[in-house]
Amino acid sequence: MLRVMSRRGDDRLTWDEQKIQTGDAEAIAAIEEAERIFAQERAKGATAFRIDTGKPVQRIEKFDPTAEQIVLVPRVVGG
């Protein structure tokens, strides 16, 4: 799942990893869309974190479809 933080809470995009492996067109389209959003938000300065149950949070630079959850945090500045 890709979660993008915004003023609306968070926008979510999910995909089925198993369906992707079987070549399901809808699942592939979902993952391509997630990848596009990931790149777009990263270009705007967002930071991406990978969250997998039972593992420490990890900052990531590249989109990883095997991640349980990817959270995109908007660019931050000193307040």
Nearer to other proteins, 13 or 51 (CB): 51
Of 13-21, 30-38, 71-79: span binding other proteins (CB under 8 A): 71-79
Tell me the C-alpha to C-alpha distance, in Å, between residue 73 and each of 17, 29, 33, 57, 66.
23, 23, 18, 13, 19
Tell me the C-alpha to C-alpha distance, in Å, between residue 76 and each of 1, 15, 46.
23, 28, 8
What does the per-residue mask of binding to other proteins show for 14-53, with x meaning CB under 8 A? Answer: -------------------------------x-x-x-x--
Query: Among residues 2, 7, 21, 30, which is the contact residue for other proteins, using CB under 8 A?
Result: 7
56 touches other proteins (CB under 8 A): yes
Residues interacting with other proteins, by CB under 8 A? Answer: 3, 5-10, 45, 47, 49, 51, 56-59, 69, 71, 73-79
